[in-house]
Amino acid sequence: MSTKNSISIQIPEEELTSIRNALNTLKTTLGPYLVALSPSERQTIPKMGDGTAMGDGTAPFVEKVMEYAQDDGQFLPPFLDLQEMDKDWTTVKSLMPVLRDIQQLTSNLNDTVTLAGSEAYVSALGYYNSVKYGARINAADAKVIYEDLRQRFERSGSPSTNGMDV
């Protein structure tokens, strides 16, 4: 079991409150403009990439089409509403940087929670194994604590500790 402490942070409650308020502002401000797709809608609609993935040039293609359609509308099909297409394209261009910032923040937030959670879990396993040993040698109070904590590992007969419960 590793005892390396890779992360040691404590976010003050005032800053957490400020973060929650900022997130509420973001949800309130963006909310009226956002949609939620069903899983089947998400699966069936054509998707636009940003052109950074190898072989995916959808966004640059749309940008070029917008330029051509606005400059030379003779090929514009009668069923296509250029103003609506422009609104959609403008929405993509304005929200994509916001999405990328949020994705980066989400990734870093997830990594931080994962690492802190891992360290807390490893420490908890260390305590648990110490209590388990104490229960084996009949140390005072160890059996009661062990009996309470061991319930975590009693799922359908197979421990899920990745070999950490020794």
Cα 78 to Cα 89: distance, rounded to the nearest angstrom = 19
pLDDT at 107: 98
**Residue 50, Cβ density class (10 Å: 0-12 exposed, 13-18 middle, ≥19 buried):** middle
Task: Quick: pLDDT tens for 85-144.
Answer: 999 999 999 999 999 999 999 999 999 999 999 999 999 999 999 999 999 999 999 999
Across 46-65, average pLDDT: 77
Residue ranges of domains in the chain? 123-166
Tokens standing for residue 60 = 């640059």
Across 10-15, average pLDDT: 97
Which of 32 and 57 is assigned the larger pLDDT? 32
Structural contact between residues 62 and 89, judged by C-beta atoms closer than 8 angstroms:
yes
Percent of the chain with pLDDT over 90: 80
pLDDT at 84 over 60: yes
pLDDT at 154: 86
